[in-house]
Amino acid sequence: MTMIRFEDVSVRYEGTAGPTVRGVDLSVPEGELVLLVGPSGVGKSTLLGTVSGLVPHFTGGTLRGRVTVAGRDTRTHKPRELADVVGTVGQDPLAHFVTDTVEDELAYGMESLGLAPDVMRRRVEETLDLLGLADLRDRPISTLSGGQQQRVAIGSVLTPHPRVLVLDEPTSALDPAAAEEVLAVLQRLVHDLGTTVLMAEHRLERVVQYADQVLLIAAPGEPPVLGDPAALMAVSPVYPPVVDLGRLAGADPLPLTVRDARRRTAGLRERLARVEVPAGAGVPPGSGGVGAGAPAGADGAGPAVRVERLAVRRGRVEALRHVDLTVAPGETVALMGRNGAGKSTLLSTLVGLLAPASGSARVGSAVPHRMPPRELIRHVGLVPQEPRDLLYADTVAAECAAADGDADAAPGSCRALVAELLPGIADDTHPRDLSEGQRLALALAIVLTARPPLLLLDEPTRGLDYGAKARLVTVLRGLAARGHAIVLATHDVELAAELAHRVVILADGEVVADGPTADVVVASPSFAPQVTKVLAPQPWLTATQVRGALRAAEGETP
Amino acid sequence: MADAAPLPRVRRRRVAPQAHRSNALHPGAWWLWALGLATAASRTTNPLLIGLLIGVAGYVVAARRTSAPWARSYGAFVKLALVVIGIRLVFAIVLGSPIPGTHLIVTLPEVPLPDWAQGVRIGGRVTAEGVVFALYDGVRLAGLLICLGAANALASPARLLKSLPGALYEVGVAVVVAMTFAPNLIADVQRLRSARRLRGRPDRGVRGLLQVGLPVLEGALERSVALAAAMDARGFGRTAAVPARVRRTTAVLTLGGLMGVCAGTYGLLTADGTTYGLPVLGIGTAAALGGLWLGGRRSVRTRYRPDRWGWRAWLVAGSGAAVAALMIAANSGDAGALHPGVVPLIAPELPLLPAAAVLIGLLPAFVAPVPPPAEAPVRERHRPRTPRTPCTPRVPRTSRTSRTSRTSRTEENPS
């Protein structure tokens, strides 16, 4: 039975040149998990919005064609009148919560629909069990962790028993374990309750194996294609590492899970067994030439960061305990660990936003928390999790001029960096109109204007598609090659594998592992990238690495 | 087995069980209790009695508050109360006091003012009587504030909202949402101010605060749009079809009722209208309530596990009412002890009967259900939204939510 039907749908927002999505003509059967795939900016969120009726009822714009959900036309039904058939969870679960405790939040949707009290009570209890939230029922929502909040958000739209669930990037902000928690719940809904799930997600390596069908929008304005995941992954411009490896091995059909990939790439493993794994994982030959020139203080021989027995407290909580860390110039270190492990605290301490309770944190020769801001930005730069926090001005040009002033750099230095990192951006573009990846590049350029020898990035790949991520990797490699020390806090194991020389894993404010990327991630099942899992026991980390090695081997023995 | 061990446990269970969702005290009971104490505080200027009231409120809060975020507001109210006392004293010292006094503390230099400002004085004599009078007054205001703070800390605002009549529900939601926005706004300001440090600009001072104003407002607006979208998608504002006749009757009853209330109140307050004042007020109130009840039929909402008004709620609300009533009664009896004079300056005494009455307000500390120990403060690391630093895991706030506010959109193309 058809659950969602699109009939020649196109959506156009006011003031844009062309329609954001067009030519959508397909139907989604009941009880399927459909994954919406495409580079950023192709209108994935818009397409999701048309199902819940938020597009165009809430966002404005013009919708042509017809979308029907469980037989209801979204043109004539407002989102609130679709609330009993469609459950929507947006990217930010916190923006979704209306009440303050878990139990009330689960009941909220049913209260709005006017269900009988005994039905509500029964469904709340069922949902608490289904999502494993029973112990948290009385907890205020603001005290929950990210994964728990995401589960509450999903639970809160499940209780009215919707037949369609619409999710926009449900795992982007979560650490690998919490993401698996959420995905397990989704799979259970599809299998046990027959719920139809329509989901968009950039981190395909986490979700693609759960999809029954993939809805691919390959480029902006192109009509979407619905089909078998493996077949569409063969033509998709965005694909997870496991697919990349499958393409390398020439596997057909393409593997989507690590298990399939292990079976279908046996030949590749044999070929690779004869090839030597390049030393120093993640360092590519001939890295890109993008960068800020040599960092200001890179000539000194000392380490860029020296943290000794550092303890940091936030209120009564010891956020960091006995942390030791040294980063050499030109080295890239990835900080990993679950949400709340102290990664962001460590970065904040390194830029002097927090003072150590005991121990010391030194950046080069400087003590960050004692330093005036103007002086500080010459020693260390941080790109925060939300790059927008760094941007105040109305245009890119004004932002660059301000950055030159702040850093006492020659006029135009920031603009030159922007041109390098972000070619083809007009001076009068408003920073708000940039995509996530472009905004990150702008913030990075602003931070690099002061040429700090130490660069910190907090969760840089959230919301980036594979293309933007690849560009970021090239840029950061270039910077490291020029002697910048880079420390990045990330949940993205693939990014860490691609980029980092060393991985430091934090748990509960303590360093639990510190070593070369290959050693640390290979040893850990949750932090190992897909390529490592597929090619184990050989210590390969990324598909890029494999491709390079194969090419080199072919060059030697043609 | 020892006989002594189970006994306290049994007794404790009988007096006050552990709180859970089903036996939670009705938030209205807490509010009535607190308003009772506040009424009592407003009826006396005796600092000893008010101190006792504050002590009673504080003890009950300490004994029965949970670890929920709203329960932490009590401290803020206490600080506000201290500020109020301070301001009242400063005004009395700088602007002078109408209380005639003979005990001179200090004579401040007086600012000469023109004739038209007659009756206003800046500086001049500061007498002990004036200062003591101001102190008494300030303490009374502080007592009122602390009683309100106690109600805030003990009763969840969202649960109180559930007890509102259906027709007022949407207004109530707006109020509660606005209340939760204030802490988010403060968190945003702190985050953006520390982000200034990353740009090499001073992160302290007034200028820093002003420059983040616009981004903070932008963020708040975006968040409210996102919340509105989420609420709409979850069925907020669904209405039942109501016949036009009922809709019209609702409007007439509500408007007419409100007008009746106004006219009745006016009648009561003017000297010659006392005959018609009371009946008109009564009819007006009844009509307005009828309008509200009819209006509730438009709402399809049901309530999930509303708090029940049980005998514990009666005891808690009754104890507050008793304190208020006894204090009012004491006022008509021995008013002197409740309002210790300042001219001549005498030490206030603690009148025994009113003091005993105030102690009735301690009853909730024994009959209200005890918050479970599991609700002990949660570790900070589980609270991603608390104001921390710019790079805190502020769970994604992305530009997607701002799609409506975008004028033009340039998206990145994969190259």
Same domain flag for A204 and A258: no
pLDDT for A279 = 54
Work out how many CB contacts closer than 8 A connect A with B: 308
Chain A residues with CB under 8 Å of B198 CB are 351, 373, 377, 381-382, 384, 390, 447
Q: Which residue has the tokens 């500080």?
A: A376
Task: Report the residue from B300, B391, B409 with minimal CB separation from A344.
Answer: B391
Which candidate in A72, A77, A92, A169 is best for mutational testing of the B interface (most B CBs within 10 A)?
A92
Cβ A106 vs Cβ A136: under 8 Å: no
Q: Among residues A192, A215, A239, which one ends one of the domains?
A: A239
* ipTM of the complex, rounded to two decimals: 0.82
**Other Cβ atoms within 10 Å of A391 Cβ, number:** 23
Put simply, the answer to whether A385 touches B303 (Cβ < 8 Å) is no
Residue B234 Cα distances to A106, A125, A160, A225, angstroms: 11, 19, 9, 29
| Closest CA in chain A for residue B238 | A80
Q: How far apart are CA A428 and CA A413, in angstroms?
A: 17
pTM over 0.90: no
Q: What is the pLDDT of residue B384?
A: 38
Residues of A in contact with B305 (CB under 8 A): 103, 107, 117, 120-121
Question: Which residues in chain B touch residue A392, judged by CB atoms under 8 angstroms apart?
Answer: 211, 214-215
Residue A252 and residue A171 share a domain:
no
Residue to mutate among A45, A47, A142, with most B CBs inside 10 A, is A142
Question: Does residue A190 lie in a domain region?
Answer: yes
Nearest to A344 among B235, B379, B389 (CB): B389
User: Could you tell me if B299 and B237 are in contact, meaning their C-beta atoms sit under 8 angstroms apart?
Assistant: no
Q: CB–CB of A92 and B238 under 8 A? A: no
> B293 vs A112, B247, B287, B289, B299, CA distance in Å?
18, 12, 10, 6, 11
Q: How far is B227 from chain A (nearest CA, A)?
A: 5
Residues of B in contact with A492 (CB under 8 A): none
Residues A7 and A110 in one domain: yes
The more confident residue out of B166 and A25 is A25
Contacts of A157 in chain B (CB under 8 A): 234
Do A112 and A234 sit in the same domain of this protein?
yes
- Rounded to a whole number of angstroms, the distance from the CA of A344 to the nearest CA of chain B is 6
Q: Which among B112, B137, B136 is positioned nearest to B123, based on CA atoms? A: B112
pLDDT digits (tens, 9 = 90+) for A154-191: 999 989 999 999 999 888 778 888 888 889 889 988 99
Q: How far is B182 from chain A (nearest CA, A)?
A: 14
DSSP run (H or E) holding A349? helix A343-350
The nearest CA of chain B is from the CA of A271 a distance in Å of 31
Beta-bridged to residue A150, according to DSSP, are none
Q: Do A109 and B234 touch (CB under 8 A)?
A: yes
Tell whether A217 and A249 lie within a shared domain: no
HSE-up (13 A, CA, CB side) for residue A351: 34
Q: How far is A221 from chain B (nearest CA, A)?
A: 12
Q: Inspect the interface and report whether the beta carbons of B412 and A88 lie closer than 8 Å.
A: no
Chain A closest-CA separation from residue B15 CA (Å): 23
pLDDT at residue A557 tops 50: yes
Q: Looking at the complex, report in whole angstroms how far the Cα of residue B331 sits from the nearest Cα belonging to chain A.
A: 42
The nearest CA of chain B is from the CA of A14 a distance in Å of 8
Q: Token pair for residue A408?
A: 């006492």
Beta-carbon separation of B304 and A117 below 8 A: yes
Contact A113 B403 (CB under 8 A): no
Q: Which of B195, B202, B384 sits opposite A384 (nearest CB)?
A: B195
Same domain for A162 and A259, yes or no, is no
pLDDT on residue B403: 40
pLDDT in tens, A26-61: 999 999 999 999 988 888 889 999 999 988 888 888
* φ, ψ dihedrals at B327, nearest 5°: -70, -40
Q: How far apart are CA B312 and CA A409, in angstroms?
A: 70
pLDDT band at A193 (very low <50, low <70, confident <90, very high): confident
Distance from CA of B322 to the nearest CA of A (A): 33
Number of H helices, E strands in chain A: 22, 19
Which H or E element spans position A89?
Answer: strand A86-89
pLDDT of res. B410: 39
Q: Domain residues of chain B, as ranges?
A: 23-161+308-388, 164-239, 240-298
Residues of B in contact with A90 (CB under 8 A): 226, 229-230, 400-401
A433 with B408: Cβ contact below 8 A: yes
Q: Residues of chain A with pLDDT > 70: what percent?
A: 95
Mark yes or no for CB contact A353/B194 under 8 Å.
yes
Whether A191 maps to a domain, the answer reads yes
Does a structural domain hold residue A88? yes
> Domain range holding A558?
240-274+534-558
Q: For position A128, what pLDDT does the model report?
A: 93
**CB-based contact A509:A313 (threshold 8 Å):** no
CA distance A275 to A557: 11
pLDDT digits (tens, 9 = 90+) for A530-542: 998 898 888 888 8
Where does a domain end: A239, A265, A287?
A239
Residue A381 falls inside a structural domain? no
Number of domains into which chain A is organized: 2
pLDDT at A454: 94
The sign of the dihedral angle between the CA atoms of A406, A411, A417, A422 is: positive
pLDDT tens string for chain B (415 positions)? 444 444 444 444 456 788 888 888 899 999 999 999 999 998 899 999 999 999 999 999 999 888 777 787 888 899 999 999 999 999 988 887 778 888 888 888 888 888 887 777 788 888 888 899 999 999 999 999 999 999 988 987 777 877 777 777 777 777 777 776 777 787 788 888 878 888 888 766 677 677 778 888 888 888 888 888 888 899 888 888 888 888 888 889 989 999 988 888 888 777 665 677 788 888 999 998 888 888 888 788 888 888 888 999 999 999 999 999 999 888 887 778 888 888 888 888 888 999 999 999 999 999 999 887 644 444 333 333 333 333 333 333 334 434 434 333 333 344 3
pLDDT of residue B364: 93
Residue of A21, A86, A94, A378 to mutate, interface with B, max B Cβ within 10 Å = A94
pLDDT digits (tens, 9 = 90+) for A318-360: 889 999 999 999 999 999 988 878 898 999 999 988 899 999 9
Q: In chain A, whose CA is at the least distance from the CA of B388?
A: A314
Q: What is the mean pLDDT of chain A?
A: 87
Of the residues A217, A239, A261, the one at which a domain ends = A239
A101, A130: one domain: yes
| Beta strand ranges found along A286-418 (DSSP E) | 305-314, 317-327, 332-336, 358-363, 380-383
Q: CA torsion, points B404, B406, B410, B412, in degrees to nearest 10? A: -60
Nearest CA in chain A to B177: A98
Ramachandran sector of residue A89 (left: φ over 0; alpha: ψ -120 to 50; beta: rest): beta
Query: Could you please report the per-residue DSSP string of B66-95?
Result: -SSGGGGHHHHHHHHHHHHHHHHHHHHHHH
Please name the helix (run of DSSP H) or strand (run of DSSP E) that holds residue A261, with its range, or none: helix A258-264
* Average confidence (pLDDT) over A445-460: 91
Which residue in B233, B379, B393 is closest to A344 by CB distance?
B393
